[in-house]
Amino acid sequence: MANDGQIRPFLKWAGGKRQLLKEIRRFIPGEFDTYYEPFVGAGAVLFHLRPRQAVISDVNGELINTYCMIRDRIDELIESLSMHRNEREYFYRLRSLDRSSEFESLSDVERASRFIYLNKTCYNGLFRVNSQGQFNVPFGRYKNPKIVNEDVLRRVHQYLNDNRVRILHDDFAAVLTTARKGDFVYLDPPYDPVSDTASFTGYVVNGFPKAEQIRLKLTVDSLTSRGCKVLLSNASTPFIRDLYRDYTMFTLSAARAINSDATRRGKIEEVLVANYV
């Protein structure tokens, strides 16, 4: 593991793992070669482990562009972030950019800056798109959101540059084709919904239906046959428990934090699935 001091996620993310890090840490292998995380999201587990050699990816192109800009153009990104305003009209003007041709003219730094700004100022810090791929979370009305967290951004920048971290934008199965014996793979896919109204897979247009959960399980089988160590997080639903019935499974309790109704943000059961003890 790298010794880069405390690094924490630079985004709030639906399904983020900060609250479960102590539990997840108990199941991390003591030694491994390359770390893989193809559903990296806000990177809570990545930044907690700080592996010296890693491959990270996500299907959300705006997220991956933001990682790349933090790695490659941190000063420009911080300067751009400092120009944003926590104002309703300004928020909706930036939000609407992906509904016009103007979005295509944004630089990579401007896109990353917009992405972080919307995350810090939108309702509950969510990233969600509609069926046209347009960001559609309303203004959060926070009094003083920390749009520019320079210390966190620079720590992430240093970690990504001081270690061998490949940043990809690809399907999980494609990312994992290079994983070999001795590597460790952490999988945190969009969760199987616990009810018809509980699904949150809206950070990509097509979501993550059961067919994708099955394809992921087949990928876990392939990784296992190659000698990779795999740890997977998901909801504790009958479907997931049956799907991974041949693997070791642990149950955790986590707080639901993204429901629009605050009274329904209680504890839910999650599972950790492992192909090792």
Residue scoring higher pLDDT (165 or 201): 165
Query: What string of DSSP letters covers 83-124?
Result: T----HHHHHHHHGGGGSGGGGGS-HHHHHHHHHHHHHHBGG
Reported confidence tier of residue 198, pLDDT bands at 50, 70, 90 = low
Residue 38 and residue 58 in contact, taking contact as beta carbons nearer than 8 Å? yes
Sheet holding 164-168, edge to edge: 164-168, 53-57, 35-37, 184-187, 229-235, 267-274, 248-255
pLDDT of residue 16: 66
Longest dimension (CA), the chain: 54
Q: Which residues contact 253 (CB under 8 A, 6 or more apart)?
A: 267, 268, 269, 270
Count other Cβ atoms within 10 Å, centred on residue 261.
6
Query: What string of DSSP letters covers 163-206?
Result: TEEEEE-S-HHHHGGG--TT-EEEE-PPPPPSSTT----TTSTT
The mean-pLDDT minimum among 6-10, 11-15, 248-252 falls in: 11-15
The whole-chain average pLDDT of the chain stands at: 90
Reported confidence tier of residue 173, pLDDT bands at 50, 70, 90 = very high
For the chain, how big is the Rg over CA atoms in Å? 18
* Angstrom distances, CA of residue 88 to CA of 28, 112, 256: 43, 20, 27
pLDDT of residue 257: 53
pLDDT of residue 19: 78
Q: Which two tokens stand for residue 179?
A: 């994983």
Secondary structure letter of residue 19 according to DSSP: G
Reported confidence tier of residue 125, pLDDT bands at 50, 70, 90 = confident
Asked whether the predicted pLDDT for residue 201 surpasses 50, the reply is no
pLDDT, average across residues 53-72:
97
> φ and ψ at 185, to 5 degrees?
-120, 125
**Rounded Cα–Cα distance for residues 147 and 119 (Å):** 9
Count other Cβ atoms within 10 Å, centred on residue 125.
21
> φ and ψ at 55, to 5 degrees?
-125, 120
**Rounded Cα–Cα distance for residues 213 and 131 (Å):** 20
Reported confidence tier of residue 52, pLDDT bands at 50, 70, 90 = very high
Asked whether the predicted pLDDT for residue 3 surpasses 80, the reply is no
Domains assigned to the chain: 18-64+151-274 (3.40.50.150), 67-149 (1.10.1020.10)
pLDDT of residue 266: 58
pLDDT of residue 129: 86
